[in-house]
């Protein structure tokens, strides 16, 4: 897991061959005045973005999840997002993997909570169990860039 600001993305970009293109497109998207919700293709199924707008749920309703085929780069455009995290190696309660949606949920509770603010991003790798959007009742806009492992 990586937490940083977009201006420091060069460090993260060195970690994966698709990251430079993913972060470059993310920087372009952030400058758009009115981002439409939904999927934005960047490089087919290898790199795409999903724009999400909404309100956070209570911590107890935030579901812990992982992805096997994709790395998440979650960037906060507006507002804040409280995200839970724990290492996959410590998880003891998987609920089954959904191959079509590339998600596995867990009964576990986070080892820690991250308050991710506007202008910051988090990178969640397949070994990072995470619970996004737990900022109860608070509005947010974020871009989740999905990068094929």
pLDDT digits (tens, 9 = 90+) for 65-119: 999 999 999 999 999 999 999 999 999 889 999 999 999 999 999 999 999 999 9
Burial (Cβ within 10 Å: 0-12, 13-18, ≥19) of residue 148:
middle
The DSSP code for 136 is B
Strand, helix or coil for residue 99: coil
Burial (Cβ within 10 Å: 0-12, 13-18, ≥19) of residue 64:
buried
Greater confidence, 93 or 10?
A: 10
Give residue-wise pLDDT tens across range 14-39: 999 999 999 999 999 999 978 899 99
CA distance linking residue 8 with residue 82, whole number of Å: 21
CB 31 within 8 A of CB 52: no
CA distance linking residue 144 with residue 51, whole number of Å: 6
Burial (Cβ within 10 Å: 0-12, 13-18, ≥19) of residue 65:
buried
CATH number of the structural domain 2-148: 2.60.120.370
Q: Locate the domains of the chain by residue range.
A: 2-148
Write down the pLDDT at residue 104. 97
Write down the pLDDT at residue 33. 79
């Amino acid at each position: 897991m990586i937490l940083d600001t977009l201006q420091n993305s060069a460090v993260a970009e060195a970690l994966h061959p698709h990251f430079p293109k993913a972060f470059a497109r993310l920087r372009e998207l952030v400058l758009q005045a009115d981002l439409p919700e939904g999927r934005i293709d960047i490089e087919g199924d290898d790199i795409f973005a999903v724009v999400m707008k909404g309100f956070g749920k209570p911590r107890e309703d935030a579901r812990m999840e992982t992805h096997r085929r994709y790395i998440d780069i979650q960037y906060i455009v507006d507002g804040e997002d409280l995200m839970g995290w724990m290492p996959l190696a410590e998880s003891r309660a998987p609920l089954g993997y959904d191959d079509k949606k590339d998600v596995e949920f867990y009964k576990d509770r986070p080892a820690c909570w991250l308050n991710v603010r506007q202008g910051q991003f988090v990178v969640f790798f397949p070994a990072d169990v995470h619970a996004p959007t737990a900022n109860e009742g608070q509005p947010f806009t974020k871009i989740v860039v999905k990068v094929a492992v």
